[in-house]
Structure 1
Amino acid sequence: MTISLHRSATVLFQGDSITDVGRLVEPDSPLGNGYVRMAAERVLTALPDAGITFVNRGVAGDGVSDLRARWREDALDIQPDVVSVLIGVNDTWRRYCSGVVTSVRAYENDYRTMLAQVRDELDAQLILIEPFLVPVQDEQWAWREDLDPRIQVVRRLAEEFDAELLAADGLLNQAARAVGGAELITGDGVHPTPLGHTVLAEAWTELAGL
């Protein structure tokens, strides 16, 4: 199964800073400067006359509860035909950096609520991107205890909602091995480098059959 990008479709990208990548602070870059822009450029090059619109509503720092709080305005009201979501690493990061814990159950409940609203109100196609971690510091390996269950949640939800799954965690960790270092894919273990964004964009456009 692949995503069908029909003529005049609206494609929405949602998530945190990995999706945002400057779009909020650079008015001339509404798609940001990461995988969203790269994926959009690939699609528009392949389908120049399809009239496809790309919208980026990623917000740096968001966890799943933040995303749910703005879901009506920044997702449902846009009435997209395709919804791509990448959320979760901040829920892990906050546990280790500031002691703020989001349980896996709360993560799953918020995520499922958002997807159910898309299904019930929009009947849009879904792409779920796994949250990922490519450790560049030894202590970040401990984060996997918190992140890995969230990755499993996303996999379950992809099955439950018949969504396309972009298995980003394994993809980016393998890419790091292939190029010779985690820091070449994610400078801090979380935020992709330009090369890391390129890997994500290529995988995303493959899900669109391009």
Structure 2
Amino acid sequence: MNQERPHLIRPGFFSINAAADRRRNEFDFHNEALLYHDRTIDTIFFGDSITHWWDLSTFFANSPYTIINRGIGGDTTTHARLRFPADVLQLRPRHVIILIGINNTWALDAFSPVDRLSAEEIYRQVTGDVDSMVQAALEMAICPVVCSLLPTRMDRYARNDERNDLVVRINQAFKTMAAGSGAIYVDYHSHLTDSDGLTLREELADDGLHPHVIGYGIMTKVLCETLSAHGIELLG
């Protein structure tokens, strides 16, 4: 066995409070192991807590492929873009499933005016960062799969209606982005919304944000069907 450690891209830590730092050491150790053993990776799921909490080993238990989870709870597109070279590009998967952006929208409700952002500012931030990741993947011959943001049902937030309207705008931009770049777009949103087409169905999440097992089941089905239509089989 090779006794030399591989060269490893490490993004380092962003700040004392950055959500992206919470799994940095874990991911660096795991990334190094994958590189050292020269593992062929089919698919990386990349995103925030909705990816982090997705039990891929259960939902994709019958897959013959190597599927890796690189989700971090609380992550935003700002830091996701910066860790993308470490957690995706250097591992050279065939596909990357990108689901990120909802945490950026908490800036609508930020207590401090310094941290508060308008819907337009968040829209530009999210779409710009995701486009950057899509282009970086394409340059490495990695197939990017851009997933719609999920609807929310966060009634305790005064601006949740504005958030859900913003999510629809961002998703339309993702769909257009994918069509223009050759990426694949996955529409989870329309399969999870209530009759208004904006709000998360109450029975799919306990906290109005994170899908439980039924919600993840729907997402798994939508993802597999969408990829299958493009000739990609996650479950073999």
Q: State the TM bucket, normalised to the shorter chain.
A: 0.7 to 0.9
- TM superposition score normalised by structure 2: 0.68
Question: What is the DSSP-based 3-state SS (H/G/I as helix, E as strand, rest coil) of the residue aligned with 2:67?
Answer: strand
- Give the Cα–Cα distance (whole angstroms) in 1 for the partners of residues 153 and 43 of structure 2: 31
Aligned counterpart in structure 1 of residue 86 of structure 2, from 73, 86, 102:
73
Structure 2 residue aligned with 1:164 = 184
CA distance in 2, matches of 1:175, 1:200: 18
Q: Is the 8 A contact 2:41 2:91 kept in 1?
A: no
Q: 1:110, 1:148 → 2: CA distance? A: 17
Deviations 1:2-46 (A, max 9, x none): xxxxxx65211000000001xxxxxxxxxx52xx3444225x1xx
Instruction: Establish whether residue 151 from structure 1 lines up as the match of residue 171 from structure 2.
Output: yes
Is the CA contact (8 Å cut-off) linking 2:153 and 2:208 kept in structure 1? yes
Displacement of 1:85: 0.5
Q: Secondary structure at the match of 2:45?
A: strand
- 1: distance between equivalents of 2:209 and 2:110? 13
User: Hey, what's the Cα distance between the residues in 2 that align with 1:176 and 1:129?
Assistant: 21
Identity of matched residues, %: 22
Cα gap change, 1:77 to 1:106, in 2 (>3 Å): same
Match of 2:50 in 1: 18
1:175–1:185 CA contact under 8 A, matched in 2: no
- The letter of the residue matching 2:142 is A
Counterpart residue identity of residue 73, structure 1? A
Runs (4 or more) in structure 1 with deviation over 4 Å come to 174-177
Number of residue pairs matched by the alignment = 180
Post-superposition Cα deviations, 1:35-81, rounded to whole Å, max 9, x if no partner, equal x3444225x1xxx4xxx110110111111111001011011011010
Distance 1:37 1:191 in 2: 18
Unaligned runs of 5+ in 1: 1-7, 22-31
Indicate whether 1:40 and 2:40 are aligned: no
Partner of 2:133: 114
* 1:57 partner SS: strand
Gaps of 5+ in 2: 1-39
Question: Which amino acid counterpart does residue 15 of structure 1 have in structure 2?
Answer: G
- 1:199 aligns with 218
